[in-house]
Structure formats: C-alpha cells, structure tokens
Chain A
Amino acid sequence: MQPFTFTRATDTQSAIETAAGRTDIKFIGGGTNLVDLMKMHVETPSKLIDINPLPLRQIEWSPTGGLHIGALVRNSDLALHPDVIAHYPVLSEALLSGASPQLRNMATVGGNLLQRTRCPYFYDKAFNCNKRDPESGCAAMNGYNRSHAILGGSNKCIATHPSDMCVALVALDAIILTRGINGERSIPIASFYLEPGQTPQKENVLYPGELITDVQLPVSPFARRSHYRKVRDRTSYEFALASAAVALEMDGERIRSARVALGGVGTRPWRAYAAEKILTGAILDDHTFEVAAQAALLGASPHADNAFKIELARRTLVDTLQHLLAG
C-alpha cells in the first residue's frame, strides 16, 4: 500500500472543501473495496478523509414521500430495515445476495455506488488495463473474459459493473444526492453511470471531490411488487454472472408499468428499456416474458468466453418475471 496521510472529517463542508478538485484524495467509509484496491496498488491516494463521523446514517421517510437513505448506512442495516423489506423488497434481496455478512456490515451505501469492477486484469498490475492506466490497452479483450460484460462495452473496456445493490436501485429509479464545492446535485441513477466508451477510467458523472451524501427512493407504484434474482458460479458469496431486478405495477392481469434492470452483464448497472416497453400494457404471461427477455438482450455483444451470458441473462430475467407472476 502506498503511504497516505489520514484525516477525519468533522463536518461535510470542510470535507468537500479539502477534497475539491483533487483526484488524489479519497473519502473512506467502510473501505471494503478501497482498502483492497490500495493493497493492490490500483488505488494510490495521497490522502484519505474518514467520513464516518458525518451525520449520514439515517433511513427515514422524507416529507415529500419516498425513503431517504444516508450514504453511510451499512449494507446490512439497509437490507434488514423493515421499511425496505416491506416497500422495496428488490433492494433488500439484492443487498443480501451480495458479498458476505462481514462485508455487508462494513460496506456503505455510498461506497457500494462507487464500487469498482472486479475484472481480474484491472486488479493485476502485471496486465494492461485502460480503466486503471488509460491508453495502456485491455488485456481482457483477448484474454479470459468469461466474467465480462456483453452490454455497454467498447473497444477500450468490457469490465462488468459488480454491484447487486445498484441494479436494484436502477429498477427503483433511485436518486443520488451529492454535495461539492459548487453545491448540491440530485442525479437520477439512470444517468449517474457512464459507459466506458473511449474513457473507461471515468465511470460516473461525479466531479473530483464531490461527495455522495444520500440516496432517495421515490414512492413508486411498482416498487412493492419487485424481485431480485442472481445467478453465479457458487451458491453464495460470489459476483453475478447474470442477475435481474424487476418491479411491476399491475392493473388486474395487465402490466401498467415496469422496471427491468440487469446485473453481471453490463459495464454499468443495466436498465433494459426495450424489455420495459414490451411489458408495459401487456398481459402477464410466459409469452410476454420471453419476448421481453429477448428484447433486453438484443444489443448484446459477446466475446470469446462469455457468449453463454446472453442465454443465461435471458433465462434469469424470465425466471424473475415468473416469480413475480407467482407472487
């Protein structure tokens, strides 16, 4: 690990003033991903600001409706919160499918949003990686790319976004609240993440030193009828090969509105708009599910070792929809 200086934030304003415009300063919450990357020399901050003292740990209903979640809420506390289980089941299920109880006790909501890819070539400095070292090349492209993305990749990067929580948040239209020296922003999660394009090192729309303070879950007619399904190499404690988060608002037999997001297959948490379009207004039946799942994977672009993910993701999505039909 590279040496760094350590300071403790006393208030949000001074924390963001210290970090403003600096790419070499990192905020640390749980540290589950950052400390690991620092051990691997992938992250080499010169300074860490401990944001744990900041008052960002609340889970409460906001006056305007919707659930307001502080960025420092631990993943386990969010997953097991009665209001999350009752009103946003897809989020609880996604959180509990990720990592281990130990890591969920440490990891924060804000940190999970900024989790880096688990591409093994990104982690291993012996290999080229455009995300880690811009313009150095991508070892995954012609390497062992079984775990890599089939949606949203570019000729520079096909690293999969690893989070389960973020897939659920995409299906729930979550809003990310941030604070920087230029003020506060409300960023819909659908426009928070960037596809790699020609600059895979830039993963989201945050400015250097901008701090995620909260996540807001809007009141939605579809959140309560929602489900997360994750498929992976092991029963537990493994990243997704494919996952689906689905939320449906029903009008009798007919789907009034739908949200569909896929994990484990995209370079960012993947919103499947084409599938939503087919589901909206349709009758809830197996044929609709098949057509929607086909549509969700239409633009998929496989590589040597991961073509299986197209069929796996398609079946995972159908299975998730069938679960909601049964429920």
Chain B
Amino acid sequence: MDHHHKRERHHKWQQDEMLPGYGTTRREFIGQITAAGAAVTIAPMLNTAPVNKEKDNGDSIEIHLQVNGVHMTIKADPRITLLDALREKLSLTGTKKGCDHGQCGACTVLADGRRINSCLSLAVLYDKAEITTVEGLAKGGALHPMQKAFIDHDAFQCGYCTPGQICSAVGLINEGYARTDEEIRESMSGNICRCGAYQHILDAIKAVQSTNR
C-alpha cells in the first residue's frame, strides 16, 4: 500500500466515522464492528485497497469454498488469494488486509480450525477446507466467547487488527499449548497491534482460557 492510498483511506475514515459513531458510545460501536467484522459500517473506506495491479487474465477457474458453514463457488483468476476471495468475491470484509505479506496477521482466518495467513494462501489451495472468518464466530446472535472477552477487556483501540487477533486467539485456544503469559505472548506474536493493546489482548485470552478450564 503506498502513501497515497493510506492518505485516501484515512480521509474516508474521517468522513464515514461520523455516521455510525453518532449516538453510539465507542464501546457499543466497537461491539458492533467486532461482531459484524466491520462488514457494513466501515466497508466503504476499504474499497480503495489495491488488489492486483496487473492485467487480469480472466476469471478462468472455478473455486469452491466452504466459508462459515456455507458452500460458495467463485469464478476467479488462479492468482487470487484467500484474503482477496473473501473480501472482493464474497464481500466478507471482516478479514483485513494489512501488510499483504504475512508479516502482520490482520488477515488471519481459520482453516479446519487452524489459524493461517489468508494473504499468503492461494484460494484454490483451500477448496477442501472449512474456512472460518470473524463473521462466522458468533453463533445464533451470541458473540463467540473470544469476541466478548475482547470487548470486556478493551483489547483494541482502532480495531483494524482485531478480526485477525480474535481468529488467531481462537486458533491458540484450539491448539491448547500456550498457557503462561510468556507462552501466550509468543503464540500471538504473528499478530501485530500498532495501537499496542497487547496487555489487554493477553487478558482477554486468559479470561477465555480460565472459563474453559
């Protein structure tokens, strides 16, 4: 992402922020975007995110994906990453594009319950997997315990890394290895939070772990 895009996105954010934010407390607003994965409220600002600059060689293949329990078929270029397929083809914009090079973790989703970086995953390699994005964590209108813990512990500021943090934290719980503070921090090191909410993210994960015990 170049500086131009960053500036443009920042500008749009300031415009859009007024709408959902009005008459809503910050915590309620964050609760909404955590649950909805920001699908509705802040989607417009993300339309400027660059995908592929090269000329498309056509939607030449069919890719079958199982996402959040729903089977979907897309026609796409084989180059499409799972991240771009989710966001651009399936309009599941809860999963975020950060660095697009596997260095920040914003794009983390679960494939068969295991956390992966969707930005470095070719979508066509995941046609047999059950993909879970942040949109698929809540069940029957109730937040996933990890989503609720993130709200309860104020485990974010800007919220951009949050869908990836939450999916990664769910993956950590599924793995069941990280127990101590040090182990949890190490195990969450693939998710960068530029606001520096790490302590509260740690608290949220420990809260879910203690409930599970």
Verify if A13 is at the interface (C-beta below 8 Å from B). no
Verify if B135 is at the interface (C-beta below 8 Å from A). no
A309 → chain B closest CB, angstroms: 23
Evaluate whether A237 and B189 lie within 8 angstroms (CB atoms) in the complex, with A6-B61, A50-B124, A102-B168 already known. yes
Chain B residue, CB-CB nearest to A5: B78
Determine if A35 and B175 form an interchain contact, defined as CB atoms under 8 angstroms apart. Answer: no
Flag the segment in B27-35, B40-48, B110-118, B152-160 that touches A: B110-118
Chain A residue, CB-CB nearest to B101: A36
CA of A80 to CA of B171, assembled, Å: 15
Residues of A within 8 A of B57 (CB): 3
Verify if A55 is at the interface (C-beta below 8 Å from B). no
Determine if B117 and A102 form an interchain contact, defined as CB atoms under 8 angstroms apart. Answer: yes
| Interchain CB contact (< 8 A) of A35 among B52, B120, B177 | B120
| Interchain CB contact (< 8 A) of B102 among A1, A28, A32, A76 | A32
CA of A101 to CA of B54, assembled, Å: 31
CA of A112 to CA of B168, assembled, Å: 22
Give the A interface residue count (CB, 8 A): 28
Residues of B within 8 A of A76 (CB): 114
Verify if B194 is at the interface (C-beta below 8 Å from A). no
Determine if B78 and A6 form an interchain contact, defined as CB atoms under 8 angstroms apart. Answer: yes
Chain B interface mostly helix, strand, loop or mixed?
Answer: mixed
Determine if A236 and B117 form an interchain contact, defined as CB atoms under 8 angstroms apart. Answer: no
B201 → chain A closest CB, angstroms: 14
Chain A residue, CB-CB nearest to B192: A237
Residues of A within 8 A of B187 (CB): 101
CA of A35 to CA of B81, assembled, Å: 9
Determine if A103 and B125 form an interchain contact, defined as CB atoms under 8 angstroms apart. Answer: no
A294 → chain B closest CB, angstroms: 32
CA of A4 to CA of B101, assembled, Å: 19
Determine if A100 and B190 form an interchain contact, defined as CB atoms under 8 angstroms apart. Answer: yes
B167 → chain A closest CB, angstroms: 9
Most buried by B among A1, A5, A52, A101: A101
Determine if A1 and B79 form an interchain contact, defined as CB atoms under 8 angstroms apart. Answer: yes
Determine if B102 and A48 form an interchain contact, defined as CB atoms under 8 angstroms apart. Answer: no
Evaluate whether A103 and B101 lie within 8 angstroms (CB atoms) in the complex, with A5-B78, A35-B81, A48-B78 already known. no
Which B residues are closer than 8 A to A by beta carbons? 52, 54, 57, 61, 77-79, 81, 100-102, 105, 108, 111, 114-117, 120-122, 124-125, 168, 171-172, 175, 177, 185-187, 189-191
**8 interchain residue pairs of minimum CB distance:** A100-B190, A236-B189, A6-B78, A3-B57, A237-B189, A105-B114, A102-B117, A102-B190
